[in-house]
Amino acid sequence: MRLISFTESSNTRIGLLQGDHIIDLSQVAPSLPSDMLSFLEAGDGAMLQAAKYTSASGHYSALDVVIEAPLARPPKILAIGLNYRAHAKESNMDIPKHPMVFTKQATSANGPYAPIHSPPETQMLDYEGELGVVIGKRCRRVSKQDANRVIAGFCVLNDVSVREWQFLATPPQFTMGKSWDTHNPFGPAIVTPDEVDPHNLMLRTFVNGDLRQKTSTSDLIFNCYDIIEFLTTAFTLEPGDVIATGTPSGVGISMQPQGTLKLGDVVKVEIDGLGFIENEVIAEPDTAAI
């Protein structure tokens, strides 16, 4: 299944993406929750019920609705650094012996086709195309062998980074540099584990059509199951948590000359079997709020 959140007639709900069409679960299965977090929290029963309608006729064209982030506010966004061998090399870092974990704030969640805001604090805004994992079950101390049982599905993700704050501030502000509003576009769908092998997918990142990253997820140092085993030794994962598994080589800051993002740039991240996300970089609007 390809589970999505979409807005039609100012009403946001969940559906199934079938090619270029959307099956509206609120019409074929009105007893199911209408938001993705509640749907995932409803567990296997909700998944099985939704799966009954994968062959139903589509209600809308994907072109006639707004495809939203699968989860508007994930409970947690966890990310892994230096998780591809070539990326560790281009960063002049040793291959890590354990996953390097950091967090992105939930308010960084952004739609798969929504703009990325470039704040005035940066001249070094960067892209990081990544495989995302969405957790489907509350779990703790999960073995690598059982980790596939707690995954709701996979998605495409861009771990947008403000490099000045991540690396150059004194002291470095890793969480701040990774957590600006809009700096976690992901989607377009949560693709259930029966549809793909997450460790044998080609990932590509383009900036204005220029190919910047191209790597197979088979090159992950720590795969999805390793990561879940490691994280759950310390804390509970919950339905709707999103894990960004790391980016391959080819990030803008490591290019010569540097290829970080400018206003008007369009970043496209695609992963075979999962689809693509595409986001334009725009100036951060006045978002001051009290």
pLDDT of residue 87: 75
Residue pLDDT, tens place only, 38-71: 999 999 999 999 999 999 999 999 999 999 999 9
Class in CATH terms, 77-283: alpha beta
pLDDT of residue 88: 74
pLDDT of residue 53: 97
Domain ranges in the chain are 2-68, 77-283
Alpha-carbon distance 135 to 98, whole Å?
A: 21
Given a contact cutoff of 8 angstroms between Cβ atoms, the answer to whether 218 and 199 are in contact is: yes
Q: Is the dihedral of CA 231, 250, 270, 162 positive or negative?
A: positive
Residue pLDDT, tens place only, 240-267: 999 999 999 999 999 999 999 999 999 9
Task: Calculate mean pLDDT across residues 103-124.
Answer: 96
Given a contact cutoff of 8 angstroms between Cβ atoms, the answer to whether 276 and 269 are in contact is: yes
pLDDT of residue 74: 98
Q: How confident is the model at residue 288 (pLDDT cuts 50, 70, 90)?
A: confident
Which residues are registered as beta bridge partners of 56? Answer: none
Question: CA dist 244 to 99, 157, 166, 271, 289, Å?
Answer: 12, 7, 17, 14, 29
Residue pLDDT, tens place only, 170-186: 787 888 999 999 999 99
pLDDT of residue 278: 98
